[in-house]
Copies of this chain bind each other. A is one copy, B any other.
Amino acid sequence: MAKNDELQELLQTKNITKRATVQAIEELLYSPIPVLDHGFIRVVDYMGDDSSIVQAARVSYGRGTKKSLQDKGLINYLMRHRHTTPFEMCDIKFHIKLPIFIARQWIRHRTASVNEYSARYSILSNEFYVPEKANLSPQSTINKQGRSTDTLPSEVADRVLSIIKNDSINCYNHYVEMMNEDESGNVIDENNIGITRELARINLTLNTYTEWYWKINLHNLLHFLALRADPHAQYEIRVYAQAMLDVVKAWVPYAYEAFEEHKMYATSISRKGMEVIRQMIDGKKIDQESSGMSKREWDELMVNLKP
């Protein structure tokens, strides 16, 4: 395929523009950043920089304040006080390759523009996600929606991996057989007839890889990342979110720093929780019962206060 030639050519591009341009993200542009066993994210385009946030907040003629410290302070203020609209003024576009079960979680965020590779129109590649042994965890008994920290006995893990591999291959082979077309679209048996692509694909497993273009503004991206880079998110989407955090850091360093401080690693404390904190600071004795909080809320608060 000409994939590499095209990529090389793009990497050589030198256009002259009057637009806000960020050197650090220019260097990332177009190159795939590997995620999981066959996935990647790559930045395909972007619009705006830290100063675009300032510019929009000020509705001014210029481009930010031209005084770094002032820009940084304003961005921090905007993030802290949830003035979110100026962060909508920056956009980024990714080309992403990811397993279908992750795509299903991802697409629930409705604030992005998406173009997915069409399995009605085209043939999916013979690529599927197989977890690393270290990531095979039993169901958590505490958090009904996650993994325990235990790992699986090695022989169980081997059995699991062999099931996933075999079933994926088997289903893909049957997919190709039912279409009577191979991965490249060549007819397999001239004397035979295959079914339509849109139907054959229903036989594929959820770990099959798909691809899409995904464009989102900075505000919505940060919201996505806060949820998906969180320890409660499924491991397989978290690694994508983490790769994106590095991209954001390169692109809009002030916004990123404010985001880490006031959103990503901030803690929301309930009305009763604030009352508990005030009493504790005053050195007063307070326990779950007297706090009016439920056992679960109290425990969550204590984890935050003494991590």
- Give how many copies assemble into the complex: 4
Q: Does A245 contact B (CB under 8 A)?
A: no
Residues of A166-215 at the interface with B, using a CB-CB cut-off of 8 Å, are 167-168, 170-171, 174, 177-179, 192-199, 201-207, 211-213, 215
Q: Does A24 contact B (CB under 8 A)?
A: no
Q: Is the interface of A mostly helix, strand, loop or mixed?
A: mixed
In the assembled complex, the Cα of A153 lies from the Cα of B180 at a distance in Å of 14
Checking B45, B93, B108, B146 against A107 with a beta-carbon cut-off of 8 angstroms, the contacting residue is B108
Smallest Cβ-Cβ distance to A79: which chain B residue: B270
Chain A interface size range:
35 or more
A249 partner residues in chain B, CB cutoff 8 A: none
A93 partner residues in chain B, CB cutoff 8 A: 47-48, 89
Smallest Cβ-Cβ distance to A13: which chain B residue: B18
Digitize A91-113: 1 where CB-to-B-CB distance is under 8 Å, 0 elsewhere.
Answer: 10101000111011001101101
Checking B21, B56, B211 against A16 with a beta-carbon cut-off of 8 angstroms, the contacting residue is B21
User: A108–B99 contact, CB under 8 A?
Assistant: no
> What are 17 pairs between A and B in contact, CB < 8 Å?
A9-B62, A13-B18, A15-B18, A19-B45, A47-B47, A55-B213, A56-B213, A59-B117, A80-B270, A85-B113, A100-B104, A120-B145, A138-B194, A138-B196, A147-B199, A163-B177, A261-B272
